[in-house]
Structure 1
Amino acid sequence: MSTVAEFQQSLSRSDTESTVTTPETFASTLTDVVDRPAVGAALPFDSVDLEDAPVTLNPTPAQLHEAKTGVTAARLGVASLGTVAIQSRAAGDELVSLHPKTHVVVVRECDLRPDLEAAFDWLNDRFDDGERSFILATGASATGDMGALVEGVHGPENVHVLVLADDE
């Protein structure tokens, strides 16, 4: 099974939708999954951006509060778990990923790792480079510490991952 297929299978186990897209189809795919109003953090990728997307970059607190969807990049995906790593950057990734009801995550195929061991190796390299703040997220926010499982308490109720396919 390919890394992308395993990642998508793991995402589906946590009720997380996913779509594989290309740089050429990214804009239309993103538009299809975003519920407006939407906010976003600039994507750190060369092949795609949010400049022409139906997404407000650098949102004000009011725009963040009103947003139904937040769009951010993931710097890493763990195929065996369906986990993504969101870097806390000045672009606002952390707030944009946690506040709106729906979080759309963009991760490049080349940033997928097969398992947690490979992910920890990647994180160790980032830590050695001075990068220190990442949120590891698997599916929608959920808590069961007060009884029945409740989703969306500490973050998004829904997550949709867009896997940006590598150029062949």
Structure 2
Amino acid sequence: MSHTSTESVRERFRDRLRDFDVESTVVPPDEVAATIERIASSPAVGVEPDDASYDFPDAVQTEFSPSDLEAAATGVTPATLGISDYGSVVVPTTESGVEPVSLFADQHVAVLEADDIVPGMDDGLAEIGERSRRSGFSGVIATGPSATADMGALVKGAHGPKTVHVVVVDP
């Protein structure tokens, strides 16, 4: 593990998010719902984590059909890990379908507990490995909006969200 202070790891994470045109907001748990409501475009769908210190606003549908998902402008998901050096978030794969919610809408809002930000990829992979051994955890590492240059010029949102916003929950 790196000998970097917790505060500098969190600052580095937000700096790297900005490098990838990802906005971030730091809020206490009781302001998460209002923050999501302010930044999410409607209609919004989401998958709430089981054991979070925060709630989603009523405007985010947590029970939705495939057609609701297809029509959603925003997908709101938990992120279980942030990797500071890369500005990446780890979105868990779940039976409730977190991955499509994070990928189908033009906007992805990821909600991450500040204590779950680690300095580097080695730390992130070690944590993912430990969680996997303990509980069968699996997740997707996402860095910034979807982008491709397969056909020439860089195109954002070709295979996923055009914009990403990370809400960091810091008590």
**TM-score scaled by length of structure 2:** 0.91
SS in 2 for 1:65: helix
Any idea what the Cα deviations from partners look like across 1:6-59, whole Å, max 9, x if unmatched?
A: 111000000000000111211211111111100001223331122x43101131
Q: Which residue of 2 aligns with 1:122?
A: 127
Q: Which residue of 1 aligns with 2:148?
A: 143
- Residue 26 (structure 2) aligned to one of 11, 16, 20: 20
| Counterpart Cα distance in 2 of 1:129 and 1:35 | 36
Residues 42 and 91 in structure 1, CA contact (< 8 A), matched pair in contact too: no
**Is 1:158 aligned with 2:170?**
no
Q: Which residue of 2 aligns with 1:58?
A: 63
Any idea what the Cα deviations from partners look like across 1:41-92, whole Å, max 9, x if unmatched?
A: 1223331122x43101131011111110000000100011100010111222
SS in 1 for 2:110: strand
Gap regions ≥5 residues in structure 2:
1-6
Amino acid of the structure 1 residue aligned with 2:36? L
**TM-score scaled by length of structure 1:** 0.93
**Is 1:43 aligned with 2:49?**
yes
Amino acid of the structure 2 residue aligned with 1:96? V
Could you list the runs of 4 or more consecutive aligned residues of structure 1 that deviate by over 4 angstroms after TM superposition? Answer: none
| Counterpart Cα distance in 2 of 1:130 and 1:27 | 28
Gap regions ≥5 residues in structure 1:
none
Residues 44 and 73 in structure 1, CA contact (< 8 A), matched pair in contact too: no
Higher helix share: 2
Identity %: 38
SS in 1 for 2:17: helix
Q: Which structure 2 residues correspond to residues 87-106 of structure 1 after superposition, within 5 A?
A: 87-106=92-111
Residues 141 and 152 in structure 1, CA contact (< 8 A), matched pair in contact too: yes
Residues 151 and 157 in structure 1, CA contact (< 8 A), matched pair in contact too: yes
| Counterpart Cα distance in 2 of 1:10 and 1:44 | 28
**Is 1:81 aligned with 2:86?**
yes
Residues 58 and 92 in structure 1, CA contact (< 8 A), matched pair in contact too: no
Please tell me the root mean square deviation across aligned C-alpha atoms, in Å.
1.3
